[in-house]
Amino acid sequence: MAEPITLTRTLDDYKSDEKPTWCPGCGDFGVLNALYHAMREKNYSPKDVVLVSGIGCSSRLPFFVSTYGFHGVHGRAMPISTGVKVARPELNVLVMGGDGDAFAIGGGHFMHAARRNLNLTYIIMDNQTYGLTKGQASPTAATGYVTKASPKGTIEAPVNPLLLAMACGASFVARGFSGQPKDLASLILTGIEHTGLSIIDVYSPCPTFNKVNTFKSYREEVAPLPADHDPTDFDRSLGVAASFEPRYLGVIYQREGPSYDQLLEERKSGTEADLPKVLDSLFARFS
Ligand SMILES: Cc1ncc(C[n+]2csc(CCOP(=O)(O)OP(=O)(O)O)c2C)c(N)n1
Ligand code: SF4
Ligand SMILES: [Mg+2]
């Protein structure tokens, strides 16, 4: 039996000196709190954690945490975290950002991250809008979403992040809600403990710009997973992921298997002896 972890840290150990700059009532506060709790539950030393984000209101999150952080480029949280994890696999790397960051400008990276299966936790604060740039429609915005840039409402269908992740080969696909931060903390913890990429799409309302998808509307629409849900059953999990009445919360799909970093370690051990030869040939080519 695993030794129980003795918690030696408090939540304050994970808080930076920067006070969150989000609007009052922003859903991202709930995600931040859930993250503090999950890290404390793991008893992480802040120096062993790296939070990587893109650009957006949600991507500011690393500022408010006392760990290492990398506030990157819009849509590029995944390439940056891939580099960090491959270079320093012993670090706990969590990736975060918005729905625009993940599924619009970062959409191509999302697909490859899902199939690559690095041992990372990706928390998407999905407010179904571009919060930072004043509320345009994001890829998850509902059809008909009215903004200053789409005064007659959008005519596109939204992407379903869970189905997208599953189609791209993700090994852990979950949905959370920032209005239920306790459940969200345990979902993040489960994601951290998963071997491989855990993708957690979190409903995190933007009360300033999105007047459609609110704490109230989500509360009416979400539901816990059916009692007999089996997250290892891919086919049935697809149906659960596709449902909008209700929108299920929890681990929708999970499969076991080696992560990219594990496979890379195996590969490295076989080729280490060749490394000087490879370097010599590179120097010869570029000198
Ligand atoms: C290359 C590039 N294109 C566009 C922008 C403008 N921009 C900044 S944040 C953002 C969208 C943010 O939306 P989301 O990722 O959903 O984050 P949120 O603010 O909603 O948390 C856009 C389009 C940018 N900073 N860089
Ligand atoms: S604009 Fe929206 S997403 Fe951005 S901080 Fe304000 S409430 Fe949050
Ligand atoms: Mg957004």
How far is Cα 98 from Cα 58, in angstroms, rounded to an integer? 6
What pLDDT is attached to residue 145? 98
- Which residues of the chain register pLDDT less than 50? none
Cα of 57 to ligand 2 centre, how many Å?
6
Q: Whose CA is nearest to atom 8 of ligand 2?
A: 26
Burial 28-59 (b: 16+ CB within 10 A, else e): bbbbbbbbbbbbbbbebeeeebbbbbbbbbbb
pLDDT of residue 6: 72
Q: Which residue ranges have their beta carbon within 6 Å of ligand 2?
A: 22-23, 26, 28, 57, 127, 131-132, 206-209
Residues 54 and 61: their CA atoms lie apart, in Å, by 10
Query: Computed from CA positions of residues 117, 80, 103, 174, in that sequence, does the dihedral angle turn out positive or negative?
Result: positive
Instruction: Name the pTM for this structure.
Output: 0.93
| Residues within 5 A (CB) of ion ligand 3 | 98-99, 127
Cβ neighbors of 40 (< 8 A, separation 6 or more) are 7, 9, 10, 11, 13, 14
| Each residue's pLDDT tens digit, 180-217 | 999 999 999 999 999 999 999 999 999 999 999 999 99
CA atoms within 13 A on the CB side of 227: 0
CB 135 within 8 A of CB 148: yes
For residue 106, the ligand closest to its alpha carbon is: 1
Q: What is the pLDDT of residue 282?
A: 75
Task: Give pLDDT, residue 229.
Answer: 98
* φ and ψ of 252, to 5 deg: -80, -45
